[in-house]
Structure 1
Amino acid sequence: MSLHVCLVASSRFPVAEPFMGGLEAHTHALATALLRRGHRVSVFAGAGSDPRLDVTALEVARFDSSPAARADVGSRPEQWMQEHHAYLDLMLGLASGRHGHVDVIHNNSLHHLPVAMSRSLPAPVLTTLHTPPIAWLESAAAFAAPDAQFVAVSDHLAGSWGHVVRAQTIHNGIDTTTWRPGPGGDRAVWSGRLVAEKAPHEAIDAARRAGVPLDLAGPVHDPAYVEAQVLPRLGDDVRYLGHLAAAELRDLVGRAAVAVVTPDWDEPFGLVAAEALACGTPVAAYDRGALREILTPEVGRLAPGGDVELLAEAIREARTLNRHAARRRAVDHFDVEVMVDRYEQAYHLAAGLPGAA
């Protein structure tokens, strides 16, 4: 049964390649797969999103506070107000029918309003939790509609939200027709946002201890951190290649001997690990958050979080793992079609329609 699904994403970043992060990649993969299955999909996301999707930009006219308002020491930052007004406008539009008949509103944003205002909306709201508990989102759950549904992207994340909401787990999925097996090579790869909580500097240190050259790729989100911790560590054996186009990144990961994943926090999922497996590239990672749900001993090695010496050992061992097994793990468990099967069931259940498992 064809549905009209509204996908609510982040207002900060566009849902377009090259993706700023896993949330944007997830939203794009989900929207594209739902369209292939014949659903109508309306996406609400940051300006500059993929024009091939039916996207409404989450933006409002810029608001410039008056000098008197700026002098208020208790006022919120203007960016916070811009986001608040953008999501408020969306919620009011959905409540008034501005966007037509909607079967399910699927909230992938980290903003509190889609949850807090779900009682006022004419369609059921399903929220995918992409982050550990944060105060605004926790507090919003108390106002959620009785029929509001919650999904977590990992068992680990579902557990961390257990004191607030009951969430079923649907692992994120990737398009394994584009993330395809590569030939491997001699170098390691690290990809993601260059920020302290992703700890690329520790990936550099571990790769050097392992004697494996390393390539880094991704957007710089914290210039001060990169200036202090990453750039001084670059050399002949460690290269920063910039924020690559999607096809270039896939090629880079497929030509790597091992992918290194170094979260300095409890990773809610770990999309880069699944992407690497899809390319046939084994993974060496910190044992944090959901990464042990993605990696098995056949396709990856885990080291205690922050232990660079043991991560170096994990890098050496992961290089020897079977690339075909890595690819099979991704296809069987983390393909986007597996994810969409689960979401279709959740949509039908939320909407009270036939087809729910």
Structure 2
Amino acid sequence: MAASGHPVAEPFAGGLESFTHTLVRGLARRGHEVTLFAPAGTDPDLPATLRTPPEFAPSNVSLADRNAPPLRWMQEHHAYLSLMLDLSQDRGVDIVHDTSLHHLPVAMAPLLPVPTVTTLHAPPLPWIESAVTLAPQCAHFAAVSRATARAWSHLVRAQVVPNGVDLTRWTPGPGGEHAVWAGRIVPEKAPHLAIRACAEAGVRLLLAGPIHDRAYYTREVRPLLGAAADYVGHLSDAGLRDLVQHAGVLVATPDWEEPYGLVAAEAMACGTPVAALARGALPEVVGRAGGVVVPAGDPQALAAAVRQCLQLDRAAVRAHAEAQCCADRMVARYERLYASLISAGRAA
């Protein structure tokens, strides 16, 4: 099940939607029958049976309650409550894979006749922490990186299943002289840091991605655009691939503990080195072969990393991606995890 807030379709709202798209396609290629719970607007060409969340509109009487939660919160709550109740009566499912970051699939896992595995795509979230304490023996977890598994280790033991990208779609490109920043334009992704570092490095920067926080963009990003940097919009996968393939470096500037860093993997698959801040999983994803990782809070070091990446061997960067960021390997690991949980469930 995907997050209910954004369709699983290009242009992807974020890495979670891209991950779900890749996983569904990979499982189907391996012969699995997949049912995907995702919002309307999800890619109709995905090889899966699509289940969309039921619509819910609170009555005017209930909305008059001064303590009524936001409408979107209620709609998400209703969507996952409905799905989990339906699944509790469904005998045609072998396993449930939750990629939603919502608490109800975890809390209601004990109601299901089959195992539930939740992929942790974020640092610890209080709602999910609460759910885990209520269903500690019934929910199973995978983490997208060792860093994310460590972040959750106070509460759960998560099997590390690193994210991957489709290496047949993200293919090597010729590179170029400019830099790219890609992702959700929000404070925790901090594209303003990339603009400043590239300006100091004397390298033009192109930014791509959805503006999820308009106030942040207006306050911190837009004033820095101009001769040294430009915002090129929210691109399709094909458009983003072309942009990255023709870039000399991708700059990753998280101002939070990055759970994985899918854009870094995509860039390296194109042979484009990554200049990154050492937050969360980026040191393990980029490593020493995929680019240059520098301490957070050191803009001069990041500027130097941008310049250094322009000189790196693109073939070696691609080879690193093939060894560490392959979607086929990710899907195979999930297959093994599914099989072990199904087998344990039957034995019990």
Partner in structure 2 of residue 59 of structure 1: 53
The 1:245/1:18 distance shift into structure 2, 3 A limit, reads same
CA distance in 2, matches of 1:73, 1:116: 27
The one-letter code matched in structure 2 to 1:63 is A
Q: 1:142 Cα deviation (Å)?
A: 1.7
- Further displaced range: 254-263 or 43-52: 43-52
For residues 119-138 of structure 1, the aligned pairs below 5 Å read: 119-138=110-129
Is residue 109–residue 138 contact of structure 2 (8 Å, CA) maintained in 1? no
CA distance in 1, matches of 2:25, 2:39: 17
Look up the SS of the partner of 2:188 in the other structure: helix
CA distance in 1, matches of 2:19, 2:262: 9
CA distance in 1, matches of 2:33, 2:306: 44
Q: Deviations over 1:214-259 (max 9, x none)?
A: 1111111111111111111111331111011110100100100000
CA distance in 2, matches of 1:339, 1:298: 20
Task: Please tell me whether residue 25 in structure 1 is matched to residue 18 in structure 2.
Answer: yes
CA distance in 2, matches of 1:311, 1:238: 16
Q: 1:65 Cα deviation (Å)?
A: 4.1
Look up the SS of the partner of 2:250 in the other structure: strand
Q: Deviations over 1:4-56 (max 9, x none)?
A: xxxx1100001111111111000100000100010001111122101123343
What do you get for the CA RMSD once the two structures are aligned? 1.5
Is residue 45–residue 55 contact of structure 1 (8 Å, CA) maintained in 2? no
Partner in structure 1 of residue 62 of structure 2: 69
Task: Please tell me whether residue 223 in structure 1 is matched to residue 197 in structure 2.
Answer: no
For residues 151-162 of structure 1, the aligned pairs below 5 Å read: 151-162=142-153
- Further displaced range: 137-146 or 274-283: 137-146
Is residue 273–residue 309 contact of structure 2 (8 Å, CA) maintained in 1? yes
Is residue 35–residue 51 contact of structure 2 (8 Å, CA) maintained in 1? no
CA distance in 2, matches of 1:44, 1:165: 25
The one-letter code matched in structure 2 to 1:195 is V
For residues 121-270 of structure 1, the aligned pairs below 5 Å read: 121-144=112-135, 146-270=137-261
The one-letter code matched in structure 1 to 2:179 is A
CA distance in 2, matches of 1:297, 1:138: 34
Is residue 177–residue 203 contact of structure 2 (8 Å, CA) maintained in 1? yes
Look up the SS of the partner of 1:235 in the other structure: coil
Look up the SS of the partner of 1:43 in the other structure: strand
Look up the SS of the partner of 1:280 in the other structure: coil
The 1:115/1:317 distance shift into structure 2, 3 A limit, reads same
Task: Please tell me whether residue 295 in structure 1 is matched to residue 289 in structure 2.
Answer: no
CA distance in 1, matches of 2:54, 2:37: 13
The 1:79/1:85 distance shift into structure 2, 3 A limit, reads same
Look up the SS of the partner of 2:117 in the other structure: strand
Q: 1:75 Cα deviation (Å)?
A: 2.4
Partner in structure 2 of residue 4 of structure 1: none
Is residue 20–residue 219 contact of structure 1 (8 Å, CA) maintained in 2? yes
The one-letter code matched in structure 2 to 1:35 is A
Q: Aligned match of 2:78 in 72, 79, 85?
A: 85
**Runs ≥4 residues deviating over 6 A:** none
What TM-score, normalized to structure 1? 0.93
Which consecutive residues of structure 2, in runs of 5 or more, have no partner in the other structure? none
Q: 1:110 Cα deviation (Å)?
A: 0.6
Q: 1:163 Cα deviation (Å)?
A: 1.0
Q: Aligned match of 1:273 in 264, 285, 295?
A: 264
The 1:135/1:57 distance shift into structure 2, 3 A limit, reads same
CA distance in 1, matches of 2:53, 2:175: 42
